[in-house]
């Protein structure tokens, strides 16, 4: 699972941190392994180890960099596949037209209209199919890019908020 309810997670974690329950907060993150919880856990482990604030932030920033490829997965393949689908459709269109016109040049005059219409039909079907696949791929690519961007922003925002909370309440932390 790659996502979690950010507000619920932050509320639970922040209340644990305000009570000084650092180990419980880390266990909470372990029980819900997502890019967001992994990012926050990276910082919490540094807090538990009594590391300076800079190292806590660096650990969370590194976790964001480590988790981002998990979010992106194969989504970039959708954009590539969308572009390839257009090219394959155009290739089929050209082949259909080549077949149509080469068949007409050697055909009996009675069959010319039928061969020409069959070849043009094949060409247009290839174009339509290629465009349909490309449109679907590009729409899904855009959808996933928006979700990935939001997830990355959630990781960055939550890590900064947690960092501020830890800095302001370090004396409450139970190591």
| Neighbouring C-beta atoms of residue 28, cutoff 10 Å | 18
| pLDDT (tens digit per residue) in 108-124 | 888 888 888 888 999 99
175 SS3 class? coil
Q: What is the pTM of this model?
A: 0.81
Nearest to 79 by CA among 134, 124, 26: 134
Per-residue pLDDT reduced to its tens digit, 115-168? 888 889 999 999 999 999 999 999 999 999 999 999 999 999 999 999 999 999
Q: Which two tokens stand for residue 94?
A: 């050209």
Place of tokens 């990781």: 155
What are the backbone dihedrals phi and psi of residue 4, each rounded to the nearest 5 degrees, phi first?
-150, 155
In the numeric block, which tokens belong to residue 165? 């909370």
């Amino acid at each position: 699972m790659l996502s979690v309810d950010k507000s619920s997670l932050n509320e639970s974690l922040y209340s644990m941190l305000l009570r000084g329950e650092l180990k419980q907060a880390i266990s909470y993150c372990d029980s819900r392994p997502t890019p967001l919880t992994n990012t926050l856990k990276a910082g919490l482990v540094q807090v538990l180890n009594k590391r300076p604030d800079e190292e806590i932030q660096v650990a969370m920033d590194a976790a964001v960099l480590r988790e981002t490829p998990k979010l992106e997965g194969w989504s970039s393949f959708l954009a590539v596949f969308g572009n390839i689908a257009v090219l394959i459709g155009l290739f089929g269109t050209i082949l259909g037209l080549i077949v149509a016109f080469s068949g007409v040049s050697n055909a009996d005059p009675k069959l010319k209209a039928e061969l020409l219409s069959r070849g043009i039909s094949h060409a247009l079907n290839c174009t339509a199919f290629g465009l349909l696949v490309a449109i679907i791929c590009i729409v899904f690519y855009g959808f996933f890019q928006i979700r990935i961007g939001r997830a990355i922003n959630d990781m960055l925002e939550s890590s900064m908020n947690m960092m501020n909370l830890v800095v302001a309440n370090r004396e409450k932390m139970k190591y």
